[in-house]
Amino acid sequence: MARVSQEHLDARRRQILDGAAVCFARNGFHATSMQDVLKEVDLSAGAVYRYFSGKEELIAAIASEVLETVRGTLEQAARESPPPTPDLLVPRALAQMRKLRPATLETGEWLFPRLMIQVWTESTRTPALTGVLADGYAKIRTAWGGMARSYQDAGLLPEDADADAMARAMIALVQGFAAQMALFGDIPPQVLADGTRALMSTGRATEGA
């Protein structure tokens, strides 16, 4: 029997995850059955269950990939000199996700924001997924902390600024933009940049008065 290459195994796993993501974003986690996933990816039950035991494992794998992508984007940015400011970094992080996970629904809507809402909702019911998100967010907070220190080293942020508080605020900002996209439609990258820049400039007008 011919040995299946790792490249083939990885491609099949990617096919299953992408198909499941489409199903979850389209119909919601609980309204999606494994039969829906099988139909979407056009594979047998045996082929899919070789990789994932069920919906819970699928959505946990999807969430882990997203969080790792965001963490990697932040860690790379922290190594740049000078580091990209938040008004550049927030649109970049979302653009990176769109590049790596470009799938859309039948309406043309980018599925990632709607999928993230499904992940957040399901995490309140599934302890295993809660653990995945908690671990992933802890790593992202650490990565944002690295960004804060890069800003401090570059003289862009006061030395006494609370790096972890900034990390939490920036995560909330990105989550908020994603939620708006899911609920109200896409947001142009320039709006993300301009809005973040406006928040960064709050108080500067009175400083020079």
pLDDT in tens, 176-188: 999 999 999 889 9
pTM for the structure as a whole:
0.82
Residue 44 has pLDDT above 80, yes or no: yes
For the segment 115-139, the average pLDDT, to the nearest whole number, is 91
Query: 161: pLDDT confidence band, cut at 50, 70 and 90?
Result: very high
Report whether pLDDT(43) > 60.
yes
User: Rounded CA gap, 112 and 103, in Å?
Assistant: 8
Distance CA 187, CA 71 (A): 22
- The pLDDT, as a whole number, for residue 64 is 93
Q: What is the mean pLDDT of residues 164-186?
A: 91
Average pLDDT over residues 36-51: 95
- Judge contact between 103 and 22, C-beta under 8 A: yes
Supply the pLDDT for residue 69: 87
Which DSSP letter does residue 54 get? S
Exposure of 152 in the CB half-sphere (CA atoms within 13 A): 13
Cβ proximity of 59 and 122 under 8 Å: yes
According to DSSP, residue 104 is labeled B
Q: Is the pLDDT of residue 207 over 60?
A: no
Token couple for 190: 């320039």
Lowest-pLDDT range of 20-24, 112-116, 200-204: 200-204
Chain-centroid distance, C-alpha 175: 9
**Local confidence band at 1 (pLDDT 50, 70, 90 cut-offs):** very low
pLDDT for 141 equals: 92
Query: DSSP secondary-structure letter at 30?
Result: T
Q: Decide if pLDDT at 209 tops 60.
A: no
Q: Is the pLDDT of residue 2 over 80?
A: no
Task: Write down the mean pLDDT value for the chain.
Answer: 89
Amino acid at 175: Q
**4 has a pLDDT exceeding 80:** no
